[in-house]
Amino acid sequence: MKANRRNTKKQFKELSLRPIERKDLRLLRKWKNDSTARRSVGDGTRTFSEEDMERWFERTEALIDRDRRWIVVEGGRPVGFVGLYGIDLTRRHAEIGILLDSGARGRGIGREATWLVFDEAFNMLNLHRLYLHVLSDHRIAQKMYKRCGFRDEGRLRQHNFKAGRYVDVIVMGILASEHAAQHREEGRKRSPR
Ligand SMILES: CC(C)(COP(=O)(O)OP(=O)(O)OC[C@H]1O[C@@H](n2cnc3c(N)ncnc32)[C@H](O)[C@@H]1OP(=O)(O)O)[C@@H](O)C(=O)NCCC(=O)NCCS
């Protein structure tokens, strides 16, 4: 609803990404178990115990070539995490994901953190394409991804089951060339004429 729409004009301190460490597990568990996050990602039935998180961390470390995750840091404080999943260096694509602390949402951090992942994906890993799956009723995420340059690529009808009903899933994607073009465009806007 319009009245609830928040102003997300860059209302955050300096943002950076750093690798996940074992000491982050308590926070990561909090974020993954957050009720809104659970409703927004997957079927929302899963909660994570401390032991689950330990196993999750071990798997993450073991699969570092396939999946990479980073903590999003705002002004020195961890505020969420982002990831590239199923990294395929032959076809040069990966799936992107993001989960922010409930207190960090609606301030433009999601958009900026996604841009930081673009740098990792397109400039460091030399990927050609990023894609994602988002629930059709998750308007905030769709809006954020569109503002980052993702395009709608398809609709998986009734692909997910959530709160007693089937929900469509939207596939979105962005190519390295599309990101490079918008990067040039942003640079033009920022540089003095
Ligand atoms: C989805 C998520 C990453 C978005 O990050 P965010 O930092 O909250 O989003 P931003 O502040 O960058 O806002 C993106 C757009 O959505 C809009 N928006 C943000 N919060 C909103 C809210 N509560 N209500 C309506 N619109 C909202 C903003 O207006 C903004 O558009 P604008 O740039 O045109 O103003 C974050 O909310 C989150 O972590 N949610 C839980 C996990 C999740 O859903 N992950 C994605 C799964 S696909």
Confidence of residue 38 (pLDDT cuts 50, 70, 90): confident
Q: Is 83 in the pocket of ligand 1 (CB under 6 A)?
A: no
Mean pLDDT of the chain: 90
Average pLDDT over residues 67-83: 97
User: What are the beta bridge partners of residue 161?
Assistant: 166
Domain boundaries, the chain: 2-190
Q: Is 6 in the pocket of ligand 1 (CB under 6 A)?
A: yes
Number of neighbouring beta carbons within 10 Å of residue 145: 25
| Nearest ligand 1 atom to alpha carbon 141 | 1
Average pLDDT over residues 65-77: 96
Residue type at position 141: A
Q: Is 141 in the pocket of ligand 1 (CB under 6 A)?
A: yes
Query: Which residues, 6 or more positions from 125, have their beta carbon under 8 angstroms from its beta carbon?
Result: 84, 87, 89, 94
Q: Is 105 in the pocket of ligand 1 (CB under 6 A)?
A: yes
pTM, whole model, 2 decimals?
Answer: 0.90
Q: Which of 45, 146, 139, 128 is nearest to 90 (CA)?
A: 128
Specify the CATH superfamily of domain 2-190. Answer: Gcn5-related N-acetyltransferase (GNAT) (3.40.630.30)
Instruction: Give the mutation target among 32, 144, 159 for probing the ligand 1 site: most ligand atoms within 8 A of CB.
Output: 144
Percent of the chain surpassing pLDDT 70: 92
Ligand 1, atom 4, residue with closest C-alpha = 110
pLDDT of residue 193: 44
What pLDDT, in 10s, does the model give residues 153-177?
A: 999 999 999 888 999 999 999 999 9
What pLDDT, in 10s, does the model give residues 86-145?
A: 999 999 999 999 999 999 999 999 999 999 999 999 999 999 999 999 999 999 999 999
Question: Which helix (H) or strand (E) is 1 found in, with range?
Answer: none
